[in-house]
């Protein structure tokens, strides 16, 4: 397809990745961001082989690995020490891994790439809606100023996208009752799980965890993300109860986390995030496409948000290269992403009550069934594929090697053939 004039709304992971991929393909891209200075929102995240493979298409994966922390798997236990999860990427392929990374580092890599590609950024411009024109679209900001016209608008504004209204039908929009508190602290030298996501559960109402994230944007020391599950309705009560009360609850559940908890000196170090389940009828309209959380929102239980955003951006650019028209490319994009996003929406919806809910029955089932299921080789392999972001259905999966050979399920040998 000939180069297009493209507007990308939102400078999060999805928007920045889309801008980078599309600019690399020769399109005339303009990025719109509501903040005066684009910045990351959030603490730490986990990049899966799928997301890393898409970063590799931008030549950014090795730089991410230099700053992040390789994660070999998940160790999940109850407060009484019973193991619920013992999931290792090595059970899938010895060369695959997850990557804990500070959100600011991922943002910086993508933002620097967008700047390197000379993509104009309209900062302090909050987009309120989009309006179709014959053969194009304009963006309208909060001051009612029009921008455009553009051949295509890419919506990367996130979970609460203002561009969906009047364009696509939202089939599901359900907030989850639980959210999480997140904070970044130094990784103690004495920590036993320096390459694992470690979690502790008490029923389904309590979950505390630590994710190693490597070095931050301005920090040479290894860091970790500390998180604590919390009901949305209890957030205000948590603030009123004070720091000492919360620290006591964390240490009662997980005494080994003391070296992390002691570093939290005020409530402002912990950021609260709420989550939702959002499903669109279609992820595109006339010359308008939704990527990342604008197109679908899940709980963080499976840790796929940033990875899905990177895949969306990579697939959108590929569809635009192959199609004869913009709308044909968008229809192809929606179809090619359908099975993957549907699986993770359903899996997230199904799994969340086992880790963030008030259900005693779900806790009993989880504690009894998950360890047994994990000892069945087939189930164990499917659990790792789910964690690694590869599942497209109950009995189907994708291979990240479709994006980059370094992350293929069967690695390339030195001679260039499959091992």
* Tens-digit pLDDT profile for residues 27-79: 999 999 999 888 777 689 999 999 999 999 999 999 999 999 999 999 999 99
Cβ atoms of 20 and 108 within 8 Å: the answer is no
Q: What pLDDT digit, counting tens, does each position of 182-204 carry?
A: 999 999 999 999 999 999 999 99
pLDDT at 40: 79
State the Rg of the chain over Cα.
21
pLDDT of residue 412: 59
Q: Taking 70 as the threshold, does the pLDDT of residue 414 lie above it?
A: no
Nearest to 131, CA basis, from 165, 161, 160: 165
Q: Residue 133: beta bridge partners?
A: 136
138: part of which helix (H) or strand (E)? strand 136-141
Copy the structure tokens of residue 281: 């009828």
In the chain, what is the straight-line distance between the N-terminal and C-terminal CA atoms, in Å?
36
- Mean pLDDT for the chain overall: 94
Decide: 407 and 53 in contact? Cβ < 8 Å: yes
Helices 49-57, 305-322: inter-axial angle, 10-degree rounding: 40
Q: How far apart are CA 317 and CA 411, in angstroms?
A: 25
DSSP 279-324: EES-SEETTEEE-GGGTEE--GGG--HHHHHHHHHHHHHHHHHH-S
pTM of the model: 0.95
Backbone angles phi, psi at 248, to 5 degrees: -65, -40
Q: For the packed helices 377-387 and 360-374, what is the interaxial angle rounded to 10 degrees?
A: 110
CA pseudo-torsion sign 403, 38, 26, 339: positive
As a whole-number percent, the residues of the chain with pLDDT over 70 amount to 98
Answer whether 302's CB lies under 8 Å from 151's CB: no
pLDDT digits (tens, 9 = 90+) for 323-368: 999 999 999 999 999 999 999 999 999 999 999 999 999 999 999 9
Residues 212-232 have pLDDT tens digits of 999 998 878 999 999 999 999
Q: Give the whole-number percent of the chain exceeding pLDDT 90.
A: 92
**Structure confidence by residue, pLDDT tens digits, 104-120:** 999 999 999 999 999 99
Nearest to 298 by CA among 209, 173, 201: 173
Ramachandran assignment for 243, one of left (phi > 0), alpha (psi -120 to 50 degrees), beta (any other): alpha
DSSP 57-73: HTT-HHHHHHHSEEE-E
Distance, CA of 176 to CA of 349 (rounded, Å): 10
Strand bridging mode 396-397 / 288-290: unpaired
Name all domains of the chain by residue range, CATH numbers in brackets. Answer: 5-174+276-406 (3.50.50.60)
Joined tokens for residue 282: 């279609």
Q: Would you say residue 417 has pLDDT above 60?
A: no
pLDDT score for 308: 97
Scanning the structure block, which residue is given the tokens 């390789």?
Answer: 70
CB atoms under 10 Å from CB of 14, counted, come to 31
Mean pLDDT, range 249-269, rounded to an integer: 97
Cα 393 to Cα 124: distance, rounded to the nearest angstrom: 41
pLDDT given for residue 220 in this prediction: 83
């Amino acid at each position: 397809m000939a180069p297009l004039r493209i507007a990308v709304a939102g400078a999060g992971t999805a928007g920045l990745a889309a801008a980078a991929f599309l600019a690399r393909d020769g399109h005339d891209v303009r990025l719109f961001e509501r903040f005066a200075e684009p910045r990351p929102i959030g603490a730490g995240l986990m990049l899966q082989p799928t997301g890393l493979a898409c970063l590799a298409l931008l030549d950014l994966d090795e730089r991410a690995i230099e700053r992040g922390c390789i994660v070999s798997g998940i160790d999940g236990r109850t407060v009484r020490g019973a193991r619920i999860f013992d999931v290792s990427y090595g059970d899938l392929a010895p060369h695959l891994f997850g990557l804990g990374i500070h959100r600011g580092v991922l943002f910086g890599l993508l933002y620097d790439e967008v700047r390197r590609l000379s993509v104009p950024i309209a900062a302090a411009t909050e987009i309120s809606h989009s309006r179709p024109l014959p053969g194009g679209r304009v963006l309208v900001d909060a001051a009612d100023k029009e921008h455009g016209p553009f051949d295509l608008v890419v919506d990367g504004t996130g979970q609460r996208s203002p561009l969906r209204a009047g364009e696509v039908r939202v089939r599901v929009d359900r907030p989850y009752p639980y959210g999480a508190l997140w904070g970044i602290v130094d990784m103690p030298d004495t920590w036993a799980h320096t390459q694992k996501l470690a979690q502790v559960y008490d029923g389904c109402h309590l979950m505390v965890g630590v994710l190693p994230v490597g070095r931050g944007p301005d920090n040479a020391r290894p860091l970790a993300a500390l998180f604590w599950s919390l009901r949305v309705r209890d957030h205000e009560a948590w603030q009123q109860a004070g720091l000492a009360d919360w620290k006591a609850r964390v240490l009662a559940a997980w005494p080994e986390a003391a070296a992390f908890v002691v570093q939290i000196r005020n409530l402002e170090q912990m950021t609260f995030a709420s989550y939702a389940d959002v499903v669109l009828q279609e992820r595109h309209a006339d010359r308008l496409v939704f990527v990342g959380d604008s197109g679908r929102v899940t709980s963080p239980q499976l840790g796929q948000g940033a990875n899905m955003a990177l895949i969306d951006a990579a697939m959108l650019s590929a569809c635009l290269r192959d199609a004869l028209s913009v709308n044909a490319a968008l229809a192809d994009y929606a179809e090619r992403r359908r099975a993957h996003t549907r699986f993770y929406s359903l899996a997230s919806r199904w799994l969340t009550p086992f880790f963030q809910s008030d259900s005693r029955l779900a806790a009993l089932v989880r504690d009894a069934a998950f360890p047994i299921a994990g000892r069945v080789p087939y189930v164990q392999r499917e659990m790792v594929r789910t964690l690694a972001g590869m599942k497209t259905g109950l009995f189907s999966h994708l291979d990240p090697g479709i994006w980059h050979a370094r992350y293929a399920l069967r690695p390339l040998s030195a001679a260039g053939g499959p091992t």
